[in-house]
Each structure stands twice: as C-alpha cells, then as structure tokens.
Amino acid sequence: MEAKIKLDRDYKVGEVDERIYGSFIEHLGRAVYGGIYEPTHPTADADGFRGDVIELVKKLGVPIVRYPGGNFVSGYDWEDGTGPKENRPRRREMAWGTIETNEVGIDEFQKWAKLANTSVMMAVNLGTRGPADARNLMEYCNLPAGTKYSDMRIKNGYADPFGIKLWCLGNEMDGPWQICAKTAEEYGRIANETAKVLKWLDPSIECVVCGSSSSGMRTFGRWEAKVLEESYNNVDYVSCHTYYNNHAHDTPTFLANNLDMDYFIRSVVSTIDYAQVITRSRHKVNISFDEWNVWYHCNEDPNAKPFERWSIAPHQLEDVYNFEDALLIGSLLITMLRHADRVKVACLAQLVNVIAPIMTRNGGGAWAQTIFYPFMHCSEWGRGTALVTNVECDKYDSGHYTDVPYVDSVAVYNEEKSEVTVFAVNKNLTEDIVARVDMRSFEGYRVAEHITMHHDDVNAVNTEENPYNVVPSSNGKTTLDDGTAEALLPAASWNVIRFCK
C-alpha cells in the first residue's frame, strides 16, 4: 500500500502557538496529592513536590497548565489555599465527593509551575462565586502591591506578582453536573462582566469563555452563539472539550475519531465567525481546546474498587493507556496542528494519574504511559509553522465513519532551525504503507531521523514494573532522493520523520 504526502513551504496553515501543548491539573483523585505533591516521597523537595514527576513533566515540554479545574473550580474558594497551611480549612469537595485538605493552593502551584518550566492557566469560579471573587483573585495574583489582596500575597511570602496571563471564565457551565450550571444567557452575561473586570485590572491578560462541554450537548452551537453574542469583544478564546472511548472494542472505528475532532473544530470556528459578524467586531476570537484525551478504561476495569466517599486523594479516573490510545492521541495532535490557525491553546487532560500521560505510585515510582510519547514528540518538534499537508491514500469504512484515510499526517516547518518534521499515523492494522513525501520546496535538506512507535499488540501498556514495554525507537526507514522522501510507515504505527539542512 502506498501514500503520497504533498507539502510546500509557501502553503501554510498558520503559526503553531506553543500553548497547544498545554496540560491540566485539577484537584481530583491523585493528580495533586500523590501526583505532583507528596511530601513523604523519597524524591520530594522541601515543599513536598515529587522530583521524579517534575522530570517527566519537563520531558513533555508543557508550556502551560490549566488549574485548579475542571468541575472542582465551580465550588472552590481560592482563599482556602493561601496563607499558613496550619490555618487552612478542610472542606467537602462537592464535584468529586472527596475531602479537600487545601495543602496545595495557588501559592504552591505557582511555585511548582516554575520548577516544572511551565506557567499557569488560571480558572475562576463562576459557579458558586462570580466577578467580585475573580477580581480579588486577579488582584492577588497579578497586582504588585498596595491593595488588600496584593498585600495578602506579599504577607504570604510572595513579593513578586505571579503574572498569570491566561484566565478561564469558569468550567463547563452548560453541564447539569456542574455546580450552579447556567443557561447560555446567564453565563454569557456573567462571563462578559468577569472578563471586563479582569482586563480592567490587567489589560495584558487573555480570557477563555466556556464553550459547550462537548459537541454532543443538546445545546451545542446555540450555546456558543449566544455566549459569544453576550461576550465577544471581551474574550479571546472559546473552550472545546472532548474525550474519546473504545467501549465497542473496535480499533478501526476508534482510530477514526480524529474525524470527529476535525468536525468539532470546524463547527466552533464557524460559530465564532458568525458571532463576529453579528457583533460587528474587528476582534478575533480563537479556540482553546483545553480538555481532550481518551477516557474510558477506568470505567471498564474489573478490578477497580469504588472509592470511599469523603476520603482524601482516592484513586479516581486512573486510566491505564494502551498502544491504540497512543495512535489516536497522535492523530488528535495532528488534527489540532492542521487547524493551527484557529486552535491556539490546548490542554491534554490531565497531566498526572487522572486520565494522564504520567502515572505514579504513592511512595514508589513514576512512569510514562503510552500516550506520553506522541505528545512529547509533537511538543519538541511541532513548533514553527504548520504546513498545508495533502495526503493521498486508500481509505476505509468502519463504525460511525466512512472514507477514513489510512494515513493521517501533518508537517511543521521550523524556519529558524531549518527543520521540517512530518508526523504520520498508519491506521492500517496489518499492512505497512510506503509514503512518498514531496520535499522539492526544501532543497538541500536531508533525513535527520525517523522515529517509529509500534507494538504488535494494540492493547499493550506500560506499567511501573515494565515501563518501557511500548516506547518509540529511531529505527524508521526513510530515504530522500531528488526531492522525494520515501518513508516506510509500519502497520499500526506512530511516525516522526525529521528533515534538516
């Protein structure tokens, strides 16, 4: 089987915003307690942060982390996580049914973010709270001194402002599971007023308004249109959230889910542009895909034990990812890169333990799950300009989808480094595919590396005992001659083909 991949340095989708490789930490399960923070762990520093986790986060090159939620934020009093720890209250956390100890709050998370070479994407509570509390949080985080909350931060030991530049206006406010869910009209107005207040305090920030919780919501489309009608000129991004599953245990259909993400993105872009027209605005709003991943394994685990309600940091939503999950994650990353002109922020949900690329054992090891590697590769080599990448190949029909290309691919050109990277997934489970890549507009380039990731068992996983069961290898076969690269894409594989001068 063969494929043709055509690209040209002059045909560009758009610049890749590095924040597309963001992630997410919520006060949920063991994401914080037992994930990034475990004071008794052998690798913990003086502040209780696990050093082994920080090193893995650094390998991912995550530029931004959304915090503190998620559903959690709609009932969160941010002040609980500031000041001396011995004075912080314990509370029943209503979104996930646990006890929140508040040992980690914005102060500690800002410190952790610096250690992990990342920055904070702050979410504000627009469920039980509103614009006034968001204003106070902004004052605490970003104002230098001389006001009540900026002076509170200084008293708590943080003389310099945190300088947080990206703010989420609540979370999934259309969802009936959300504390104090709202109609589109209600939410659009409060989001608009919150954005106004935040930007009055710090005009340098950007705001993300909540889109639909998923494209399957009954109000999808109408929600975005109404919310943006109320808030368009004061917000900068609309959030998209989506999770995929393979409950049917149908791998070809599962691997085709990137087509659904593509439809989702195009639909939201159309609605944003409609809102721009009806508001008669010159302002440009883009997409923050700030929750996306595969999520279903924990619901099918026969050994999973129900956690005790009102316990502290129980095992919740700890999906163990397999090889086919890594293939889909690769395709979802490719899909977002193909929309790099409008998808400017994205957050893989989440970062540690809870539906995450990194897993830990309390008191034990930390290891990379299968989905860690495609994300790491894109974060490292997917920075620059996304190119229009035309793929010609055979297609298949399966489940909900028809005309699914066997090869999913995108190229990113980093002019500063004189590098071109082609990311490609072969979705054919049984046949290798020879891909011929048109490189004529990159005269003088050579093949630097061809990384492949393949396993004969699509259900293979990584564990603490066997953390390198499913890993990439630089054993790919690509040649370049007379402007055409010929790359062998193994059956069921993730591929990173790097060219440089």
The set of catalytic residues is 172, 291
Q: In what order do the strands lie in the sheet with 2-6?
A: 390-393, 2-6, 433-438, 484-489, 477-481
Taking CA atoms, 471 is separated from 181, 319, 322, in Å, by: 42, 18, 11
Residues 499 and 468 sit within 8 Å (Cβ to Cβ): no
**What CA–CA distance (Å, rounded) separates 180 from 21?**
30
Residue of 345, 323, 352 lying closest to 251 (CA atoms) = 323
Instruction: Please list, in sequence order, all residues whose beta carbon lies within 8 angstroms of the beta carbon of residue 84, skipping any fewer than 6 positions away.
Output: none
Count of residues for the chain? 501
**What CA–CA distance (Å, rounded) separates 290 from 19?**
10
Residues 69 and 95 sit within 8 Å (Cβ to Cβ): yes
Instruction: Please list, in sequence order, all residues whose beta carbon lies within 8 angstroms of the beta carbon of residue 471, skipping any fewer than 6 positions away.
Output: 373, 453, 462
**What CA–CA distance (Å, rounded) separates 136 from 159?**
17
Residue of 220, 107, 119 lying closest to 172 (CA atoms) = 220
Residue of 337, 351, 339, 348 lying closest to 381 (CA atoms) = 337
Strand-pair category, 2-6 with 433-438: parallel
390, β-bridge pairs: 6
H helix and E strand count, the chain: 11, 25
Residues 238 and 174 sit within 8 Å (Cβ to Cβ): no
**What CA–CA distance (Å, rounded) separates 40 from 362?**
9
Neighbours of 409 (CB within 10 A): 27
Residue 445 amino acid letter: Y
